[in-house]
Amino acid sequence: MKITINGWESFGLRCPDVKVNLLKNSTPSRVALIQMPNGTGKTTTLKLIRASLTGAAQNWSRDEITELKSLKNPNVQTGKFILELSVDEKPLVIETIIDFVEAKVRYRTSSILLGGVEDGWRPPPNIKRFLEEKFVSLFIFDGEFAADLLDSTKTKATEAIETLSQLDLFDEVVSEADFFWEKQKRDASGTSKPYLNSLKEREAALTRRLAELKKSRETAQNDVASFSKRLAEVDAQLDEKIGQNETIRSEKDRLSKAKSDADAELSTALEKYMQDLRYPHKLYDGFVRHLNTFKVSLDQAKLPDTSSRQFFIELCEEINCVCGRPIGPNEQNHIREHAEHYLSGDISGVLNAIKNDINIYANQNFDEPLSDSRLKLSDAQAKFHDASTGFSNYMLKIKDFQDKGYEELLKEKAQIELEIRSRDNFLSFMSAPYKSSDDEKSSSVVSIETQLRDMQDRIAEVTDTVELRERINLLSKIATNAKLIAKKSLHKQLIDECNERLSKVLVNSPLQIEDIDNHIKLKGQAGGSVGQTLAVAYVFLTAALHRGSHQFPLVVDSPAGSLEQLVRKEVGKVIPELCEQFISFIIDTEKIGFVPALESASNDSISYSTIFRLNQTSEKLIKNVPNENIQMNGDSVLVTGKEFFVQFTLDKEE
């Protein structure tokens, strides 16, 4: 599917009364630059484009509606915004009509299928799923959304990938399957109603409890992420303060090194201890005794046999036995029966190998028994504890050195650590395994999930839908796993693709994506500058949008404001390659570096519009502009064309 924005028209609103046409020979330009000085109504225009696409204006409050009223004409009763789109080359027009008197918004939509105009927000059903708020914010976005992509407390990056790749279709499969089973349960007959009802009530109670717990778990996880983020900031501030005092810094560095050395020693000891634990004979004395007894028993039972079952089976085929006597039918039967008492040759081989290993491992005097590596581990742990305590005590001791803010930060750090610990404990309870004494009041998600599954199995039994339930479980499992696999693979592909582009875009300050785990995690740093964040967001979103089989316009407010000139140039080069239509609301100070790069990458498919309010200063600007390039409506002016666009600067504005 391909959606493009062909233009819009607005009147009676806070943004200028203009008709913007983005078509060039009936086709939208690949790049459309709309220059609007600050205060001209850029934000309002973007809000209305977004609301036209999502239908969200119907729920706006009186205050939100009043804010859209034209400032110049406060007595205006109605405002209108008309958005013209193309959906797979067919026109679609959505009108947003704002009644300022009643503080109500209504929509009118042109019908692609039937022609004419219908009341209401009625885009064709096949595009509705792409017009949800979360989807639209991916292609009509602002700086705030870009920052959210890299915020560890938010899940926008994962949501963006899932939405664009439509991975939620897997969830729909699961919920459709559940819905179908619910229906089958309702229709089931031949079961004692009161008993079935009581099971269903318990199932409903467990389902409610599970939802509650999952919500609490999500809140706790988000809290941990927020607190961890703040903790990193506090640590950085503490480090900065310490760094200002030479004596303290060198003592801190010494203690920090001692701590990290002790940590390395602990890791080595731990590795060795675990290596030893991997040998069961080192783990427990009784195992060694029993391994030896096992071997002796095999010897006593004369296992493995000196002859294999195969030998006797083959012997039956012979005319004469190895002793020379003939083998008749009776002898054959006898040999076959007794052949079963022998092991196959292959099993004998395995058994010999088992006995050999018992001989090697269970009977040797260990060079280093488990007790030795445990002692070393215990020592290393104590050393690490001492080093760690030494470091923490020193940090506490210097709390009031010259800087009062330091103590405040320490207090905050202690409080944050406490909060994180308490959330971690809570999350631990939530992952406790199921115990048979648990009921629906359990605080463990695992336990409630187990109980819920058992209950569903019981309902399936009594409603005779066991087989169906099993199939649904299988389908759900396949869909869930498929989603996980697809997500993992998509993340990997996107990370590779983005990193390749980032190495071109951010040449001077290389930045790479390490992982996409809810948010975009950068390699070796917690976050980037505003410009870097925006550059990463562009690269990520354009790569994600580019991957799907659908095409959407990318609409951005102030696309280059916080980007350094060199980055602007690189971003400008990349964007037209990655989307079919790029619409950018821009102010004059952003043009340097960005616009020439966009122009050269757009293959001449670029349009320039400048929208501003008429006043004494701007009136002079349009004196020499040909009439066919000017559209005036009251104090609203729209000038099309590159020359005016380039020359229009802020110092000539009001």
Partner 1 sequence: MFRLKPEVESWFSNIFPKGALKSKWDLYYLCLMVGLGGGRSEPVTGERTDMVDYFIEDYKKSQKLIISLFMCAELGKFGIQFSDRLMAKEILDKYLNPTNPSFLTNNAFQRMNEYSYGGFLLLAENLGKPNDQATFLMQYEDLLNRLANENATWA
List of residues contacting partner 1 (CB under 8 A): 266-267, 269-271, 273-274, 277-281, 283-284, 286-287, 289-291, 293-294, 297-298, 300-303, 341, 343-344, 346-347, 349-351, 353-354, 357-358, 361-362, 370, 374, 377-378, 380-381, 424, 428, 431-435, 446, 449-450, 453, 477
In sequence order, the 6+-apart residues with CB closer than 8 A to the CB of 330 are none
Q: Are 203 and 462 in contact (CB under 8 A)?
A: no
Contact by Cβ (8 Å): 553, 542: no
Nearest distance from C-beta of residue 221 to partner 1, angstroms: 12
Compute the least distance from the CB of residue 424 to partner 1, in Å. Answer: 7
Q: How many CA atoms lie within 13 A of 132 on its CB side?
A: 10
Q: Which residues contact 630 (CB under 8 A, 6 or more apart)?
A: 622, 637, 638, 639
Q: At closest approach, how far in Å is the CB of 10 from partner 1?
A: 53
Q: Which is nearer to partner 1, 293 or 489 (CB)?
A: 293
Q: Does residue 38 contact residue 557 with C-beta atoms inside 8 Å?
A: no
To partner 1, the closest distance from the beta carbon of 284 in angstroms equals 5
Q: Which is nearer to partner 1, 342 or 552 (CB)?
A: 342
Strand 581-586 to strand 553-557: parallel, antiparallel, or no bridges (unpaired)? Answer: parallel
| DSSP letters for 68-121 | TB-SS-TT--EEEEEEEEEETTEEEEEEEEEETTTTEEEEEEE-TTT-SEEES-
**How far is C-alpha 124 from the geometric centre of its chain's CA atoms?**
29
Task: Give the residue with the Cβ less far from partner 1, 363 or 615.
Answer: 363
Preceding omega of 304 cis (within 30 degrees of 0): yes
Shortest reach from residue 313's CB to partner 1, in Å = 15
Nearer residue to partner 1 within complex by CB, 293 or 402: 293
Q: How many other C-beta atoms can be found within 10 angstroms of the C-beta atom of residue 127?
A: 17
Instruction: Write down the least CB distance from residue 232 to partner 1, Å.
Output: 19
Distance in angstroms (rounded) separating the CA atoms of residues 330 and 320? 13
> Rg of the chain over CA atoms, in angstroms?
36
Whichever of 212 and 457 has its CB closer to partner 1, that residue is 457
**Are 179 and 512 spatial neighbours (Cβ–Cβ below 8 Å)?**
no
Q: Least separation, in Å, of the C-beta of 531 and partner 1?
A: 34
Element counts in the chain: helices (H) and strands (E): 23, 17
Angle at 140 between CA 137 and CA 141, to 5 degrees: 75
Is residue 338 within a helix (H) or strand (E), and if so which, with residue range? helix 329-339
Sorted by sequence, the CB contacts under 8 Å of residue 260 that are 6+ apart come out as none
Span between the terminal Cα atoms of the chain, in Å: 43
- Cβ proximity to partner 1: between 236 and 350 the closer is 350
Least Å distance, CB 483 to partner 1, is 14
Judged by beta carbon, residue 100 or residue 273, the one nearer partner 1 is: 273
Contact by Cβ (8 Å): 537, 557: no
Q: Which is nearer to partner 1, 105 or 269 (CB)?
A: 269
Question: CB 223 → partner 1: shortest distance, Å?
Answer: 17
Closest CA to 584 of 538, 549, 540: 538
Tell me the pairing of strands 31-35 and 581-586.
parallel
Q: How far is the CB of 478 from partner 1 (least distance, A)?
A: 12
Measured from the CB atom, is 72 or 421 closer to partner 1? 421
**Pick 167 or 432: Cβ nearer partner 1:** 432
| Between 97 and 370, CB nearer to partner 1 | 370
Query: CB burial class (10 A; 0-12, 13-18, 19+) of residue 559?
Result: buried
Q: Which is nearer to partner 1, 114 or 301 (CB)?
A: 301
What is the distance between the alpha carbons of residues 432 and 213, in angstroms, rounded to a whole number?
A: 13
The DSSP code sequence of 6-66 is EEEEEESBSS---EEE-EETTEE-SEEEEE--TTSSHHHHHHHHHHHHH-GGGG--HHHHH
Closest separation in Å from C-beta 431 to partner 1: 4
**Which of 11, 22, 17 lies closest to 95 in space, CA to CA?**
11
Question: Minimum Å distance from CB 464 to partner 1?
Answer: 20
Closer to partner 1 at the Cβ: 250 or 481?
481
Shortest spacing between CB 445 and partner 1, in angstroms: 9
Which SS3 state, helix, strand or coil, does residue 211 take? helix
User: CB of 268: closest distance to partner 1 in angstroms?
Assistant: 10
* CB nearer to partner 1: pick between 261 and 357: 357
